[in-house]
Amino acid sequence: MKITKGIPAPSAILEAALYVNDLDAAERFYGEVLGLERIQRVADRHVFYRVGGSVLLLFNPDQTEQPPTNPDLPVPPHGARGPGHVCLVLTRDEIAVMRKHLLNWNIPVDAEFDWPGGARSLYIRDPAGNSVEFAEGHLWA
């Protein structure tokens, strides 16, 4: 474990959350279009997907802003409004395949370019307007 200024530094991001107003549309997009493995869906509250060793949490903000009702899972209220961002790792060749796949689904590309360090990125929007980026893993190396 790395310790910086006396504080233990986390080793990874375990989960990331986006907020969506239509879980059915989000489930179709992330499950059918992107092919992510669904872990769990709870009614109109959330749907969770496995992404490598991490989890992408998609929440309905109207539901997650409510106080917890299960004393065994006292997750505090949380949420956000407006578009967020997530970046998913693909190789350069996989980004090219994903681009073609997305266009076949009539999903427009917002942007596509190489960063100064050479990593490729492709940006699209999910049905809720969140920015979804596909980038090479060495983007932040």
> Domain coordinates of the chain in residue numbers?
12-64+81-140
Query: How far apart (Å, rounded) are the C-alpha atoms in residues 137 and 141?
Result: 8
Q: Which two tokens stand for residue 116?
A: 């100064």
Which pLDDT does position 12 carry in this prediction? 86
Per-residue pLDDT of 40-58, as tens digits, reads 999 999 999 999 999 999 9
Can you tell me the mean pLDDT for 5-11?
82
pLDDT of residue 107: 97
pLDDT tens digit sequence for 61-105: 999 998 888 889 898 988 888 999 999 999 999 999 999 999 999
| Class of the CATH-defined domain 12-64+81-140 | alpha beta
Contact 14, 120 (CB under 8 A): no
Tokens 């979804």: give the residue. 132
Question: Among residues 66, 73, 16, 74, which one has the least CA distance to residue 45?
Answer: 66
Q: What is the mean predicted confidence (pLDDT) over 26-35?
A: 97
Q: Which two tokens stand for residue 35?
A: 């092919």
The pLDDT assigned to 9 comes to 80
- Asked whether the beta carbons of 67 and 56 are under 8 A apart, the reply is no
Q: What is the pTM of this model?
A: 0.92
Q: Is the pLDDT of residue 11 over 90?
A: no
